[in-house]
A and B are shown apart, each in its own frame.
Chain A
Amino acid sequence: MDEAFSFVFLMLASTLRVATPLVLCAMGGLFSEKGGIVDVGLEGKMLMAAFFAAATASVTGSAWAGVAAAVIAAEALALLHGLACITYRGNQVVSGVAINILAAGLTVVLGTAWFARGGQTPPLVGDQRLMPLFLPEAGDNVLVYAALLSVPVTWWIVARTRFGLRLRAVGEMPLAVDAAGLSVAWLRYRAVLLCGLLAGLAGAYLSIGQNAGFSRDMTAGQGFIALAAIIFGKWRAWPALGACLIFGLLDAVAIRLQGVRLPGLGEVPVQLIQAMPYLLTMFLLAGFIGRAVAPKAAGVPYEKER
C-alpha cells in the first residue's frame, strides 16, 4: 500500500518536474500567439536563458541572480523577435528559426570561451541552485509553483482584463485595434515581452532547478513541445496545461520504464517511449484535435495601408 502510494507520488512529482518548463513556455507562447506573433523561437529563448542562468549562478553563487540573468537573456531575444516581426514586419517563422540557431550556437561558443568545458557550465551546488521548498524528493522548487500559478494568471489576464481583450483583438484583427485608436505595435511588444519573461523562467528552471548546470542543447525540443501544447490546447490556458501534463507524464513513464521487463514484451525500448511526445504531437496534429482555432492574424505582420 505504502509502496503504491509512493509510486504514484513519485510519478506525479516526476510528471510535474518535466512539465514545469513546458507549462511556462506554453503560457509564454500563448501570450505571443494570442497577440498575433507566432513564436517558433521559444526553444532558443529557453536555451539562452538556461545558459545565462547557469553561467551567472556559477559565477555569482546566487540562484536568484541566475534567474534574473535568464529572464534578461530571454527578453533580449524576445525584443529581437519583436523588432524583426513587429517593427520591421519580417517573417515570424524565419525570425523564430533564426533565434533558435543563434541560441544553439551562441550558448556553446560562450560556454566554451568562458568555462572551457566543451560548452558546459561548471556543476552547480548549494545556493547556486533553486532547491525544493517542501518536499525534497519531489524537487518542488519555486519555479514549479510559478508554473502552476502561471496558468490561472494567464487565463485571467487573457479573459478578464482590458489588456487581455486588446491582446485577443490584436491577434484576430489588428486593423480594428488600430481603428479603435490603440497601438498595434505596443500591444504586440507587450505580448512578446511576456513571452520572453516566461520562457526565461523556463530556461532558468532547466539549468539551475531541474539540473545542476547547463549542457549544450539541453532544451532538446521542449520549446517545440510547448508550441504543440498550445495548439492542442487550442490557444487556451487550461487545455494547454493539460497537454503539458500529458507530455510530462509520458516522459516520466519513459524514465520509470527504463530497463523494466514487461511480461510478453521483453524489455521496453526506452527510445520508443521517449519518442511518444513527438509521435503524439504528429498523431494529434494530423487531425485529432478538431478544427484549429488559431488567432486569425497570427503570423501576419500588420501593415497600415500606404
Chain B
Amino acid sequence: MQALTPAAAAIELRGIDKSFGVVHAVRGVSLRIEPGTITGIIGENGAGKSTLMSILYGLYRADSGEIWVGGQPVEMASPRDAIAQGIGMVHQHFMLIDTFTVLENLILGAEGGPLLAGGLAAARAELARLARDYGLSVDPDARVADLSVGEQQRVEILKVLFRGARILILDEPSAVLTPQETDRLFDILRTLKERGVTVVLITHKLREIMAATDRVHVMRQGQIVAERRTVDTGSEELAELMVGRKVRLDLDKVPVGQGEILLRTEHLSLVDDRGVRLLDDIGIELRAGEIVGIAGVTGNGQSELLQVLAGIRAPSAGRFTVCGHAIDTGHPGDPARMRELGLAHVPEDRLRQGMVAAFQASETSILGYQDGPPFTRNYLLDGPAVGAHCAELMERFDVRPRSPGLRSSHFSGGNQQKLVLAREIARRPRVLLVGQPTRGVDIGAIEFIHRELVKARDSGCAVLVVSVELDEILSLADRILVMFAGRIVGEVEPRRADERTLGLMMAGAQAA
C-alpha cells in the first residue's frame, strides 16, 4: 500500500469503456474518488455501475481506459491486483462460505503460510484489533450459516479490512438488511471514514445516498451524467438525473370503500420436510379494491405464503378461501385451478417461475393460459393468435422492444416484469398476488408497474403485494401486514407507519 499524497485521488478512472457483445455497458467513464470520503454511485439497474466497479476490482477487463490508484496508473487483471492495491469489495451476494467459521472465511486467500494453525491464530488477534478499532465485533468461531444477514455483512467488511484494504467498495449493501441494520451499516461506514478508509457505495436507493455519502456520481446508460456534493442535491434531482426525466414516485390513490372479502386464510400453516415451520397460523383477509402489502425481511415466510396461496405448495394445516372456494389440506389447490377461480400470480422470481427465459415473448405472454381458446385449437397452438395477443399486451403495457418473437431473456428486467404483469392482469383476475413487483426493475418501469397495480385495485381487484422494499409497500398498500418468522406480527396503516416502527416489527421486536 502506498502513502496517499494529499493531491492524489484515492481512485481515478480515465475514459473507461466496456462492451459485452452489442451491449455498450460503460461508455468512457472518468471519475475521481477523494481519499477519506464516502462516495456514492447511483444509477438504475443496468446503468453500468456494477460493471464499472467490477472493472475497478479486476473481475472484468476494460476495453479501454486507465485506472489510477493513489496517483499511480495500475493494471487490474484480476481481483488479486485490486487486493494488492488496497481495494476491497463487499459484494451484493456475500462471498462467504456457509460451512466455514468466521475465522476460516477471514483468512481464505490470505492464510499467511501453508499451514493453517499460525494463520488462524494471527487472524484471531487481528480480528480482535479490528473489532476494537472499528467497533465491528463478531464471534470468530461462529459458523457463517448461523449468523444473521447483518452479521454476515460485517464479516464481509472485516474480510476486506483484514486484507489491509484502504478503499472499500460496497455493491448494493442494504438489499438484504432491515432499516435498523442499514443504519448500523452506515454508522460502521462513518467510523471507517473517520479512520481514513475511502468508501464507495453503489446503490439505486436515493435515501441511502442522502443518508450516508459526501459526494455522489449519477450514472445513466453507461455514462456519468452528473456529480454532486450530497449536501447540494436532493432526492428529486437525483431521481431525475438517474432517469433522465421527471419522475413521480408518489401515487395518487383514491380511497376505495370496503369491498367483499375475496381471499381469507384461517390458521394457515406450512411445515417443510425437515420440520421447520415456515408459515405459522396465518390469518389474513383481502377485500376487493384494496392493496394489502406484506413487509418483512427476506426469508420470513413471505415467499412460502405466496406459493401456498397460488396453489404451488399445499398447506400443512389450516385453510383458505378464494372467491368463496375453500382450499385446505384435504382439498389442495393447484396453480391451474387457482387461475380458474380468478386468482392470478406474479411470482417473486420471474426468471424461474414467471417465465421461461428461452421462450419467445409471445410464448411467455400466454404461459399458464395456453390451454384452450383463443390460443389453442384442435390441440395445436394458434401462432398468429398468440402473437397478436402478445403484441396487444406489449402495446398496452409499454413493453420494449415490441417484438413478440424475441426471446424472453433478451428483454430487460423491467420489460420482462411488465410482460409477466400484463399476462396476469389482462385476464382481469379477482385476486392478484404480486411478489417483489419491482425487483431488478428500473425507476421508469417501477412508476408504470405501480400505476398498473393501483389501476387493478381501482377496478375492484384484491391485490396482495409482497416486497422487501419498504418504500414500495408504504406507497402502494392500503394496509400493511408485517411478517416475521412465518407469522403475521402486526398490521399498520401506511399513513401512520414509518420505516422505524416497521423495521422494529420486521426484526421481530414486539408489535408497536
B111 contact set on A, CB distance < 8 A: 162, 165
**Contact call B108/A165, Cβ cutoff below 8 A:** yes
Say how far B143's CB is from chain A's closest CB, in angstroms: 12
Number of A-B contacts (CB under 8 A): 67
For B292-317 the 0/1 string (1 means CB < 8 A from A) is: 00000000000000000000000000
**Contact call B104/A179, Cβ cutoff below 8 A:** no
**Contact call A180/B79, Cβ cutoff below 8 A:** yes
Q: Is A83 an interface residue (CB 8 A)?
A: no
For B7-38 the 0/1 string (1 means CB < 8 A from A) is: 00000000000001000000000000000000
Q: Specify the chain A residue showing the minimal Cβ separation from B84.
A: A181
B117 contact set on A, CB distance < 8 A: 160
Task: Give Cα A176–Cα B111 distance, bound, in whole angstroms.
Answer: 15
Say how far B144's CB is from chain A's closest CB, in angstroms: 10
Q: Contacts A169-B97, A176-B95 hold; do A181 and B115 have CB atoms under 8 A apart?
A: no
B97 contact set on A, CB distance < 8 A: 168-169, 172-173, 176
For B178-191 the 0/1 string (1 means CB < 8 A from A) is: 00000000000000
A160 contact set on B, CB distance < 8 A: 115-117
For A145-178 the 0/1 string (1 means CB < 8 A from B) is: 0000000000000001111111011001101111
Q: Contacts A168-B100, A175-B95 hold; do A162 and B116 have CB atoms under 8 A apart?
A: yes
Task: Give Cα A173–Cα B100 distance, bound, in whole angstroms.
Answer: 11
Say how far B292's CB is from chain A's closest CB, in angstroms: 37
Q: Specify the chain A residue showing the minimal Cβ separation from B110.
A: A180
**Contact call A173/B79, Cβ cutoff below 8 A:** no
**Contact call A173/B114, Cβ cutoff below 8 A:** no
Of the candidates B60, B79, B108, B115, the one whose C-beta lies within 8 Å of that of A169 is: B108
A163 contact set on B, CB distance < 8 A: 114
Task: Give Cα A117–Cα B481 distance, bound, in whole angstroms.
Answer: 79
Task: Give Cα A306–Cα B21 distance, bound, in whole angstroms.
Answer: 10
Of the candidates B20, B80, B98, B109, the one whose C-beta lies within 8 Å of that of A172 is: B98
Q: Specify the chain B residue showing the minimal Cβ separation from A297.
A: B97
B83 contact set on A, CB distance < 8 A: 181
A176 contact set on B, CB distance < 8 A: 95-97, 108
Task: Give Cα A304–Cα B80 distance, bound, in whole angstroms.
Answer: 16
Highest count of chain A CB atoms <10 Å: which of B60, B79, B97, B115: B97
Say how far B184's CB is from chain A's closest CB, in angstroms: 24
Say how far B412's CB is from chain A's closest CB, in angstroms: 16
**Contact call A179/B95, Cβ cutoff below 8 A:** yes
Say how far A287's CB is from chain B's closest CB, in angstroms: 12
Secondary structure class of chain B's binding surface, majority of residues: loop
For B406-447 the 0/1 string (1 means CB < 8 A from A) is: 000000000000000000000000000000000000000000
**Contact call B108/A166, Cβ cutoff below 8 A:** yes
Q: Is B212 an interface residue (CB 8 A)?
A: no
A164 contact set on B, CB distance < 8 A: 116
Q: Is A280 an interface residue (CB 8 A)?
A: no
Say how far B167's CB is from chain A's closest CB, in angstroms: 15
Secondary structure class of chain A's binding surface, majority of residues: helix
Say how far B249's CB is from chain A's closest CB, in angstroms: 30
Say how far B34's CB is from chain A's closest CB, in angstroms: 26
Task: Give Cα A172–Cα B145 distance, bound, in whole angstroms.
Answer: 13
B107 contact set on A, CB distance < 8 A: 165
Within 8 A of B (CB), among A177-198: 177-182
Task: Give Cα A304–Cα B79 distance, bound, in whole angstroms.
Answer: 13
**Contact call B91/A306, Cβ cutoff below 8 A:** no
Task: Give Cα A164–Cα B104 distance, bound, in whole angstroms.
Answer: 11
**Contact call B104/A165, Cβ cutoff below 8 A:** yes
For B65-100 the 0/1 string (1 means CB < 8 A from A) is: 000000000000011101100000101000111111
**Contact call B113/A180, Cβ cutoff below 8 A:** no
Say how far A199's CB is from chain B's closest CB, in angstroms: 25
B82 contact set on A, CB distance < 8 A: 181
Say how far B440's CB is from chain A's closest CB, in angstroms: 15
Q: Is B150 an interface residue (CB 8 A)?
A: no
Of the candidates B59, B78, B114, the one whose C-beta lies within 8 Å of that of A162 is: B114
Task: Give Cα A260–Cα B97 distance, bound, in whole angstroms.
Answer: 54
Say how far B13's CB is from chain A's closest CB, in angstroms: 20
User: 10 nearest interchain CB pairs?
Assistant: A180-B109, A181-B80, A176-B95, A162-B111, A181-B79, A179-B95, A172-B97, A162-B114, A173-B97, A181-B83
User: Could you give 27 example pairs across A and B, Cβ below 8 Å?
Assistant: A160-B115, A160-B116, A160-B117, A161-B115, A162-B115, A164-B116, A165-B108, A168-B97, A168-B99, A168-B100, A169-B108, A172-B97, A172-B98, A172-B99, A173-B95, A175-B95, A176-B97, A177-B108, A179-B79, A179-B91, A181-B79, A181-B80, A181-B83, A181-B109, A182-B109, A296-B98, A296-B99
Q: Please give the residue numbers on chain A whose beta carbons come within 8 Å of chain B beta carbons, in ascending order.
A: 160-166, 168-169, 172-173, 175-182, 296, 304, 306
